[in-house]
Amino acid sequence: MNYFLSSRIASLFRREFFENKTIVILGPLFLVMVSLIVIIFTALFVDRVGTFFGGRLVGEFLQGLDASMVEVEGGLEIKFSDTEGGAISIESFEAKEALGTLDDISNTKAIDIDVDVDDNLVEGSFKLNEILYYLHKLIMLVPLLISINYLLGCLLYDRLDGSYFFWRSMPVSPKEEIIVKLMVALFAIPLIFGFASFLIQILSLLIFIFPIYRIGLDPISVILENLDISNWVWFLILDWLDRGVMLAPIFSFAVLISSLAKRSGFFTSVFAILTLGFLEGVLFGSNNFIDGALLYLPWPISADVRIVDSPTSLVAGLIIACFFLVMAIYFRSRPLFFNN
Amino acid sequence: MESLIRAIDLRPMNGWSTVLRDVNIDIPPGKIVGLIGPNGSGKTTLLKSLVGFNKSVGNLSVLNQDPRLVGSNLFNDVFFIPDSSSLPSWMKINELFSYLSGVHKNFDLEKATLLLDSSNLDARVDIGKLSKGMAAQLYLVIATAVDSRLLILDEPTLGLDLLFRKKVYRKLLQDYPNSDRSVLISTHEIVEIEEFLTDVIFLNNGEILLSSSMEALAKDFLELKVDSEQLGLAQALPSVSSRACPGGRQILYRNIDRAELEKFGEVKQACLSDIFLSLIAGGNKQ
């Protein structure tokens, strides 16, 4: 029985893959290729292309990496001993040669510097982690849009093409069907695109070896000194889980819209959002619906919210998601519209 | 013997209007039942109501369960695909088989593959690219490969040529008589299916005109070919219908003693299509 259930769920996932294989296979490939072209272009023109960090040029950013390395070569040694509570304490500061004029600094003088690490997964000293972090966030906007588009059509297209009753005549409940579709959008599509993003980031590092080398630095040292690999991989995993859970209410709303739409999921969702926002504004004078929804969207649409930072939002989001899903399951069994 | 389908005073509701009127059906195991009616008579509506797709009122039991309450679990033992045009057009045939073998515990992948190989269908083709006849073949391959207790087919041979239709019916229905399983088929093609049926239901304007076994039908309906001399006497008996034929008229009688009719001319068993047309014509006149 359990074997059959798992086989059935696997088949439902396979069915989603069959239906969306163009997006699932060609989408990431296309993304990698486009990103590759952009990265090569950026690497070739490092002194003309700007970064996202304060409008600096990529070339200047690479020089910044260079400066970090010189400090290391000069004998600067920093030991991170305590990161609890967001405070990093520097216990050892041996830099006599590098800081020759500062004779009064003791070899073992402890300097406490508070560094706010709550809002960042990456530590300030690992500049490549920071740039890869934002690169990943930007890349992951693509699967976000793809997932929303997929969900807006997932319960609509079979009513449009006449196959609704075929799917209904299978021993698969609307609940199973909808949960699998939601899981595909929340976890499977981001996972596939997450791997694509990972590949793009590795390719970026490999391609940027060339401009780093050209400005007279040792590329391998620069990458190793500026990239915390475990932090980088851990961030990718956490970001995948974060968006999978935090996007649940938004995606469940898209599923509900798909179960209700007559012809276009997109226009129905725009209409529903504007109507609900307008009604709330007129009746209560507030704008909590749209503001609240935006909270669950990832950077750069809203501030970077993680599940560990906002348990209240998480619980509220999951309750709202369940409510939307129950409604979607109801309307899947009893559709309002058939179009053929 | 317990019925596989039992509907008492079933009235499927479509919006505010009632499509069917107090339908009563009882299908025991081992039967091949033809649901026959003209276009718009309510056949598809009835079939969808029997599996719980349409809202309905009245008593309904399919495999001792109420389809309106049991949900998708019903389809582990009941196979129902509305028609071949409802097959998902974006899927390839092998993808469809892969899906069915995963979700349907009674789907025999090996059997389906063998049946597909014996047809002219390519498993790598998108279903949407199949002609109407090919889609009907695929539909029947799936129906044959699913070992369900109750098979409900809605116009299964629509689009198939005459030669293929009989072959299909023979292959599809050979295992059903005298088993614990039954088939309910809605169709227009009475002539081709007649020899396979054990029971028949005639539906017109949402109303069951006749529900009978083929054996009872053969006894109850007789056709008399009468010449002009005997015509007056023959017409004096209560008949169902009458039509001109070379050398006289053919008159259809219901529940009249065969010996009595033989006094007026040649008596033979009425064919299903004649009975159907006569009853439909009678129903429409009313």
Q: What is the ipTM of this complex?
A: 0.85
Q: What is the pLDDT of residue B105?
A: 87
**Side chain identity at residue A263, one-letter code:** R
Residues of B with CB below 8 A from A166's CB? 81-82, 86-88
Q: Is A289 exposed, middle or buried, given 0-12, 13-18 or 19+ CB atoms closer than 10 A?
A: middle
**CA of A266 vs chain B CAs: smallest distance (Å):** 21
User: Is B88 in Cβ contact with A168 (below 8 Å)?
Assistant: no
User: Is B82 in Cβ contact with A169 (below 8 Å)?
Assistant: yes
d(CA A339, CA A330): 19
Helices (H) and strands (E) in chain A, counts: 17, 2
Please check whether residue A12 touches B, CB under 8 A: yes
CA atoms within 13 A on the CB side of A236: 23
Average pLDDT over residues B219-227: 88
End-to-end alpha carbon distance in chain A:
37
Sole residue written with tokens 């009425």? B270
Question: Where does the pLDDT of residue A122 fall: very low under 50, low under 70, confident under 90, or very high at 90 and above?
Answer: very low
Question: Where does the pLDDT of residue A2 fall: very low under 50, low under 70, confident under 90, or very high at 90 and above?
Answer: low
d(CA A300, CA A13): 30
Structure tokens at B1: 């013997």
Answer whether residue A204 shows pLDDT above 70.
yes
Answer whether residue A52 shows pLDDT above 80.
no
Q: What is the pLDDT of residue A109?
A: 40
Average pLDDT over residues A192-197: 96
d(CA A324, CA B36): 43
Which 3 state secondary structure label does DSSP give B150?
strand
Please check whether residue A331 touches B, CB under 8 A: no
Sole residue written with tokens 């797709």? B53
Sole residue written with tokens 């600067």? A76
Q: What is the pLDDT of residue B285?
A: 45
Residues of B with CB below 8 A from A170's CB? 72, 75, 100, 103-104
Average pLDDT over residues A235-245: 91
d(CA B119, CA B180): 29
Answer whether residue A88 shows pLDDT above 70.
no
Answer whether residue B192 shows pLDDT above 60.
yes
Residues of B with CB below 8 A from A172's CB? 72, 103
CA atoms within 13 A on the CB side of B237: 25
User: What pTM did the predictor assign?
Assistant: 0.80
Average pLDDT over residues A70-87: 42
Answer whether residue A163 shows pLDDT above 60.
yes
Answer whether residue A86 shows pLDDT above 60.
no
Q: What is the pLDDT of residue B182?
A: 92
Contacts of A124 (CB under 8 A, 6+ apart): A115, A130
Average pLDDT over residues A102-128: 46
Please check whether residue A339 touches B, CB under 8 A: no
**CA of A332 vs chain B CAs: smallest distance (Å):** 11
pLDDT per residue as tens digits for the range B20-56: 888 899 999 989 999 998 888 888 889 999 998 888 8
| Range name among A189-193, B92-96, B113-117, B159-163 with the lowest pLDDT average | B159-163
Q: What is the pLDDT of residue B269?
A: 87
Answer whether residue B92 shows pLDDT above 80.
yes
Question: Where does the pLDDT of residue B264 fall: very low under 50, low under 70, confident under 90, or very high at 90 and above?
Answer: confident
Interface test mutation site (partner A, options B49, B95, B103, max chain A beta carbons within 10 A): B103
Share of chain A above pLDDT 70, in %: 72
Average pLDDT over residues A53-57: 53
Q: What is the pLDDT of residue A79?
A: 43
Cα distances from A68 to residues A50, A99, A111, in angstroms, run 20, 14, 19
Crossing angle between the packed helical segments A127-139 and A141-154, to the nearest 10 degrees: 20
Contacts of A4 (CB under 8 A, 6+ apart): B105
| Other Cβ atoms within 10 Å of A206 Cβ, number | 13
| Range name among A58-62, A115-119, A189-193 with the lowest pLDDT average | A115-119
* Chain pair A-B, CB pairs under 8 angstroms: 75
Interface test mutation site (partner B, options A168, A179, A339, max chain B beta carbons within 10 A): A168
Residues of A with CB below 8 A from B158's CB? none
Structure tokens at B120: 């002219």
d(CA A74, CA A96): 9
Q: Mean pLDDT score of chain A, rounded to an integer?
A: 79
CA nearest B95 in A: which residue?
A18
Please check whether residue B53 touches A, CB under 8 A: yes
User: Is B88 in Cβ contact with A166 (below 8 Å)?
Assistant: yes
Answer whether residue A77 shows pLDDT above 70.
no
Q: What is the pLDDT of residue A183?
A: 97
Answer whether residue A137 shows pLDDT above 50.
yes
A57 against A217, higher pLDDT: A217
d(CA B209, CA B202): 5
Please check whether residue B105 touches A, CB under 8 A: yes
Q: What is the pLDDT of residue A123?
A: 45
Answer whether residue A215 shows pLDDT above 60.
yes
Answer whether residue A320 shows pLDDT above 60.
yes
Q: What is the pLDDT of residue B17?
A: 54
Please check whether residue A2 touches B, CB under 8 A: no
Q: What is the pLDDT of residue A272?
A: 94
Query: Residue B79 pairs with which residues in a beta bridge?
Result: B151
User: Is A10 in Cβ contact with B102 (below 8 Å)?
Assistant: yes
Which residues 102-161 of A have a C-beta within 8 angstroms of B?
Answer: 158, 161
Contacts of B44 (CB under 8 A, 6+ apart): B82, B83, B154, B186
Query: Residue B225 pairs with which residues in a beta bridge?
Result: B250, B266
Cα distances from B73 to residues A168, A326, B48, B78, in angstroms, run 11, 19, 16, 9
Please check whether residue A168 touches B, CB under 8 A: yes
**Side chain identity at residue A262, one-letter code:** K
Q: Which residues of B255-270 are buried (b: 16+ CB within 10 A; e: fewer)?
A: ebeeeebeebbebeeb
Answer whether residue B171 shows pLDDT above 80.
no
Residues of A with CB below 8 A from B101's CB? 11
Please check whether residue A3 touches B, CB under 8 A: no
Q: What is the pLDDT of residue A11?
A: 94
Please check whether residue B104 touches A, CB under 8 A: yes
CA nearest A175 in B: which residue?
B72
d(CA B169, CA B176): 11
Q: Is A81 exposed, middle or buried, given 0-12, 13-18 or 19+ CB atoms closer than 10 A?
A: exposed
Q: What is the pLDDT of residue B14?
A: 62
Residues of B with CB below 8 A from A11's CB? 98-99, 101-103
Interface test mutation site (partner A, options B79, B86, B89, B125, max chain A beta carbons within 10 A): B86
Q: What is the pLDDT of residue A237?
A: 93
Q: What is the pLDDT of residue A60?
A: 65
Average pLDDT over residues A57-68: 60
Residues of A with CB below 8 A from B106's CB? none
Q: Is B26 in contact with B36 (CB distance < 8 Å)?
A: no
Q: Mean pLDDT score of chain B, rounded to an integer?
A: 86
Average pLDDT over residues B138-164: 85
Q: What is the pLDDT of residue B226?
A: 86
Question: Where does the pLDDT of residue A314 fall: very low under 50, low under 70, confident under 90, or very high at 90 and above?
Answer: confident
Q: Are strands B78-81 and B17-18 parallel, antiparallel or unpaired?
A: unpaired
Cα distances from A245 to residues A12, A120, A196, in angstroms, run 21, 19, 20
**The dihedral of CA A165, A167, A168, A169: what is its sign?**
positive
Q: Is B243 in contact with B274 (CB distance < 8 Å)?
A: no
CA nearest A12 in B: which residue?
B99
Please check whether residue B80 touches A, CB under 8 A: yes
Cα distances from B285 to residues A229, B18, B20, B281, in angstroms, run 85, 21, 19, 6
User: Is B82 in Cβ contact with A165 (below 8 Å)?
Assistant: yes
